[in-house]
Structure 1
Amino acid sequence: MGITDSVTRAAHNAWALFAGDGLAPPHRTESVVVGRGPHRTLRRFGPDDGGDPVLLVTPLAASPTCYDLMPDQSLVQYLSELGRSTFVVEYGEMTSEDRDLGLEYWIDEIVPESIHLVSELCGNRDVDVVAWSIGGAMALLTSAAHPELPVRSITAFGSPLDFSKIPVMAPLRLIGKLCAEPVIDVLNSVFGGVPAPLVQAAYRVTALDRELARPWFVASNITDAGKLSRMELVDRFQDEISGYAGRAFAQLAQMTVANDLSGGKLRLGERVVDLAGVTVPVLAFAGTEDILAPSRAVEPVTRLLPNTSVRFVEVPGTHLGMLAGARARTTSWVELAAFLEEPGCDEEPGCDEEPGYGVEAGFVDPGQDRSASPSPAAAPHPERADR
């Protein structure tokens, strides 16, 4: 490529980024809405007569585009190509009228109803549930609270259960111990929760290295429309992050500060949900570059679910990267596909000898001494647009 071509491409890309409509065309895999309700829209991807059902549970406040980030980094496309009947439940915007919605609303209504509907639409087959970030914890809590649900397995991408093992959260947990309640009360009184701009800003702060490196990344890749497009799509995902309902955020803050889930139990009103109630096979991913849910924060899942088999796997990537990064197709997605074929595979002779794609991979059987389970620490790594 000559100097003239380079200058032309750089000028075109710069104009598109800073003055035009952007380099990356809008992306959303074709889907059909098959169910609606208050803060629950269920979409089906792929044909009506697809294979075994998979339900992707969106984390609170996150955009469902985390599962459909870009054409070559779309988990919904990948699962549909495998022949699975793929569904995503999304929640829409939270307003001041939703201030009283708590985690129970998701655990007792939204997620269970979505599972039942997916099962009915697929001939009453059991459903494989896949979730990312705090959505993984919500899926586990839902299964524990409602063991009668037609769930075949649960997969959690980057879902922390021990918040004391997240270095980047330490200052926030300390601040939360000192002043969380009055701050939350103010936010709830004024906004009915935590508004989207504040949540978006907080997410960007956790990826501060990426934000600071952005000008250099753009300058050094100004002629590479592909890399700039991927960066732009990640930016759009961050811009689509929504707010939290007041009560739900207060419960999440309490869960983070008190670190309740590290003991395997969460008090919701007058009842306690115990993760020991989970009886379906579980696959848990941890990203080697994830600063929001490092391996040490995710690994306790192998000890807190004594009544089922748990497969814990480390894969390359950041918090978003392990789910939708460029390397996910050949790492975490391969592990997921194998797990969905035989969720209880660890019970078959020799099955646990299959190689893992991460740094650590292995099944933990019910009754096994979990104190001996590996707890590797993941070195923090800056969030990157192409990871």
Structure 2
Amino acid sequence: MIEDTPQRTFAPLHAALLTVDHQRRWLAGICDALGFGPRCSPYEHLQTAAGATVRRYAGAAADGPAVLLVPAPIKTPDIWDLDPTASVVQRHLEAGFRVYMVEWPDATGTDAPLGLQDYADRMLGACVDAVRQDTGEDRLLLSGHSLGGTLAALFAAGHPELVRGLVVLGAPLHFAPQTGALARVVASYSDTPADAGEGGVIPGSMLNLIGVTASPETFVYQRVTDWLSSLGHPDRLRSHLLVERWTLGESAMPRQLFSDLVTILYRQDGFLTRRVTIGGRAVGPADIRAPVGCVLNRQCEIASPASVLPALDALGTDDRALFWYEDEPGVSLQHVGMMVGASAHRDLWPSVLSWMRERSHA
């Protein structure tokens, strides 16, 4: 805990923010009616026995390498596939990959106390097995954004025999207070959302509030300035509004998962200190044997270089690559700019996909 920091509590906010979640989803429906909803690529579902499902995207080359995309279990996975012009899914398909994506279960639809091991091991493992069975491949490429990248890295550390390569996109791996805005704000609370209120979930709007508290620059000021800079540029403005619509798609988080994230990852810096158990054993960065590609934004306060580079230095592989993404207009939130930005799709993704392709048959 950071000394001399005022201690705050979440409890009074819990019930009110459940109502806010419903209101934001209603606004999302209005945005959809106005033409700002996601235009996702065609897919069908592969079922697993663990609660999560897998999207299998149409249009893939029959013999292309398989990649499993791992979104964060926050909001919807559509940030990977908002629009044909801003679709990481489409860029993978165009590059010849067979594309699959994890679809996490609705946390409000289960009473099970789903925690970090359920997401990073049991459910993600079931998704990996489903793709392996569907493709006949022994090992897969994993690619994850934000918390999805963190979960993918934990799985790669616990099951190196199943991972051919790993791409982490704006995903923190080191969680000490000095590494970023979220780590600092977590340290300033006397409890966690998991200690507040009733029920088995944390409202999505509470996660938004934590983000705004941690970094108003990221979650408030940048969004306003991005909107202003996009006026007069129809393509930028549409991209901005697509992301804003995506932010309204609230998805509650299981109470146990949030408690584990705060307690194990953030307060114990659990990945670097080997306090995370995956595959029945304690794991850290040194257990990742697959090639690792990492996309970072120097200005990002959510997944800062300081929250990633120490883990990269501790990897169990020398085959690693850094790709730098620079802020650009028309993305609303710079944390997701690498997923939707025009310059990201023009300049960044061809390099990342070429790197992945070179390692797809290793």
| Superposed pair shares fold, TM > 0.5 | yes
Tell whether 2:240 aligns with 1:231: yes
Confirm whether residue 199 of structure 1 aligns to residue 211 of structure 2.
Answer: no
How far apart are the structure 1 equivalents of 2:157 and 2:280? 16
Q: CA RMSD in A?
A: 3.1
Q: Distance in 2 between matches of 1:331 and 1:265?
A: 37
Displacement of 1:232 in angstroms is: 1.5
- List aligned pairs for 1:1-387, cutoff 5 A: 21-24=33-36, 26-47=38-59, 49-95=62-108, 97-98=110-111, 100-149=113-162, 151-164=163-176, 165-176=178-189, 178-180=190-192, 183-187=193-197, 190-204=198-212, 208-209=216-217, 211-212=220-221, 224-254=233-263, 255-267=265-277, 271-307=281-317, 309-317=319-327, 318-343=334-359
CA–CA distance in structure 1, aligned partners of residues 45 and 357 of structure 2: 26
- CA 1:222–1:285 in 2, change beyond 3 Å: closer, same or farther? closer
> Structure 1 pair 288/241, CA: closer, same or farther in 2 (3 Å)?
farther
* Cα-to-partner distance string for 1:168-208 (whole Å, 9 max, x where unaligned): 235413323x333xx52224xx1313112222343455563
1:293 to partner: Cα distance: 0.6
Task: After TM superposition, give the deviation of residue 243 of structure 1 in Å.
Answer: 1.6
Structure with more relative contact order (C-alpha pairs < 8 Å, separation 6 or more) = 2
In structure 2, do the counterparts of structure 1 residues 206 and 78 end up closer, same or farther at CA, with 3 Å as the change threshold? Answer: farther
Number of aligned residues:
324
TM-score relative to the length of structure 1:
0.74
Query: How far does residue 55 in structure 1 lie from its aligned partner after superposition?
Result: 0.5
Return structure 1 stretches of 4+ with deviation > 6 angstroms.
none
Change in 2 beyond 3 A, CA 1:27/1:96: closer
Q: CA deviation at 1:128?
A: 0.8
Unaligned runs of 5+ in 2: 1-29, 328-333
Greater mean deviation of Cα atoms: 83-92 or 98-107: 98-107
Query: Residues 344 and 308 of structure 1: is their aligned pair in 2 closer, same or farther, counting only changes over 3 Å?
Result: farther
Q: How big is the shift at 1:160?
A: 1.2
Quote the Cα distance in structure 2 between the aligned partners of 1:19 and 1:100.
33
Tell me by how many angstroms 1:132 deviates.
0.8
User: Is the CA contact (8 Å cut-off) linking 1:35 and 1:41 kept in structure 2?
Assistant: yes
Larger Rg belongs to: 1
SS, match of residue 196 in structure 2:
helix
- Equivalent position SS for 2:55: strand
CA contact (8 A) 1:135 1:159 kept: yes
- C-alpha distance in structure 2 between counterparts of 1:20 and 1:277, whole Å: 43
SS of residue in 1 equivalent to 2:335: coil
CA-CA distance at 1:27 after TM superposition: 1.2
Q: Secondary structure at the match of 1:285?
A: strand
